[in-house]
Amino acid sequence: MNIDWKNYKPILIPAIKDLHKIDVYEKNGGYKALKKVLSGKSKMTPEEVVNEVKDANIRGRGGAGFNAGLKWSFMPKPDGGPRYLACNGDESEPGTFKDRKIFEYNPHSFIEGAIIAAYAMQIQTIYVYIRGEYRDFIDMMDVAISDAYKKGYLGKDILKSGFSVDMYTHMGAGAYICGEESSLMNSLEGKRGYPRVKPPFPAQKGLWGRPTTINNIETLANVPLVINNGAKWFKGIGAETHPGPVLYGISGHVNRPGVYEYPTGMLLTDLINEVAGGVPGGKKVKAVVPGGSSTPPLRGDSLDGVRMDADSLREAGSMMGTAGICVVDETVDMVDFTWRISGFYHHESCGQCTPCRDGTGWLEKTLDKIRRGDGEMRDIDLLYEICTKMEGRTICALADAAAWPVRYALDRFREDFEARCKKTVYALA
């Protein structure tokens, strides 16, 4: 696979001045996809929209990488009652800072995509859940939504098609778990953000017990591109099994951190060394977290040929996640790094399930013990044991997300942990 990234021009967030303004967006082909779907000779049925998006294989950009159109197809047939679309802009996974670029620079691409999604699933109400810390970005979204209402893209009888939909922002208040879809629904319902047991899945029983679909902001922003250019065109961008443009958020030890838009399937080494300008001071890369804190860290000396798509990263022993790449240089001790990740999950565990509530605390405390120089070799085994007792034993995936970085850091950077542990000596009786 050869990606001509050097000649790539952003399409998801193109470099157009003031694109966040609705007039500028319209002048540059904005809301054309919505018009194509809802009116004129090109008018599409909801099923046709679902099939086109399913065929395009937009894999969810929030972390799970599930085909968005396929998810839409799980919605039951309308029964006359309310149905909901919840857009996930919680963006709280450490290393992830990309959806805010859509809110700031191209909000209407997302709004247009969400309206098309609502039409495809015959939904009347859209909620945009945005983390409470993003107050400025929520204000920007409120302006964009209000402008879309004024232009008749939202509200009653959109473009005289007979289709009506409303859109509201909902402000979170500081809880990572609310990015988990069932927790997000509880939060939207005005409750503590506890994840729900699945099944029933949101499409069967979601918000207020009604059929609901939850999609990530960036995922929905891709929808107008698919409608305008076709699924075939979209599948021609980037990695074959994980196509399209993607927002890479690059942070940590690089010379030019930031959010970059390139096709999927980019070589991780190109992103680090070329796009982000390499590691300051010419230091070596020790570790890379490829897609947010829950994705297992890769060793810096095992990055050759690793591409940013689901298949390549799975082969390398990690995941695409949110494509939030954190680069760690050789000066960092992986015990400290892993301890901080565990601290995050301990703080963010909702406390419903014992393996997670207690396990995340045990991970953090055990890593802190090693960090302080009080650890023993057997604490490494203890960490593995805690991970095993957490993985797959809870309502949601937060426990797994907490365990994996620890398990893989131990597997891949064991020398760092051993160097900080005292030898365990047992007296033989």
Partner 1 sequence: MSKEYTFDKDDLKKIEEIKSRYPEVTPAVMPVLWLAQDKFGHVEPAVQKLVADTLGLPQAHVQGVASFYTQYYKKEKGKFVLDVCTSFSCQICGGYEILDHLENKLGIKAGETTEDGMFSIQSVECLGACGYAPMLQVTNDKYVNNLTTEKVDSLIENLKQGKMPEFESIPMPQHETES
252 in contact with partner 1 (CB under 8 A): yes
Cβ-Cβ contacts under 8 Å for 106 (sequence gap 6 or more): 12, 13, 14, 19, 20, 25, 221
DSSP, residue by residue, 357-374: HHHHHHHHHHHHHHHTT-
Stretch that binds partner 1, among 68-76, 92-100, 115-123, 300-308 (CB under 8 A): 92-100
* Shortest reach from residue 326's CB to partner 1, in Å: 5
Structure tokens at 287: 């570790």
344 in contact with partner 1 (CB under 8 A): yes
* Shortest reach from residue 428's CB to partner 1, in Å: 42
Stretch that binds partner 1, among 233-241, 247-255, 381-389, 410-418 (CB under 8 A): 247-255
* Shortest reach from residue 59's CB to partner 1, in Å: 22
6 in contact with partner 1 (CB under 8 A): no
Evaluate whether 111 touches 20 at the Cβ level (below 8 Å): no
Count the alpha carbons within 13 Å of 47 in the hemisphere toward its beta carbon: 3
Q: Using the structure block, give the residue that is written with the tokens 């970005």.
A: 137
* Shortest reach from residue 375's CB to partner 1, in Å: 20
Q: Contacts with partner 1 in 155-194 (CB under 8 A)?
A: 168, 170-176, 187-193
Name 246's bridge partners.
262
Q: How far apart are CA 153 and CA 150, in angstroms?
A: 8
Classify strands 324-329 and 245-252 as parallel, antiparallel or unpaired: parallel
* Shortest reach from residue 46's CB to partner 1, in Å: 23
Stretch that binds partner 1, among 61-69, 97-105, 304-312, 420-428 (CB under 8 A): 97-105
408 in contact with partner 1 (CB under 8 A): no
Question: In b/e form, how buried is each residue of 269-295, taking b as 16+ CB within 10 angstroms?
Answer: bbbbbebbebbeeeeebbbbbbbbbbb
10 in contact with partner 1 (CB under 8 A): yes
- C-alpha torsion sign, points 188, 103, 297, 290: positive
317 in contact with partner 1 (CB under 8 A): no
Site for partner 1, rule CB under 8 A:
10, 13, 15, 17, 82, 91-97, 100-101, 104-105, 131-136, 168, 170-176, 187-193, 208, 249-253, 256-261, 289, 293, 324, 326, 328-329, 332, 336-337, 340-341, 344, 347-348, 350
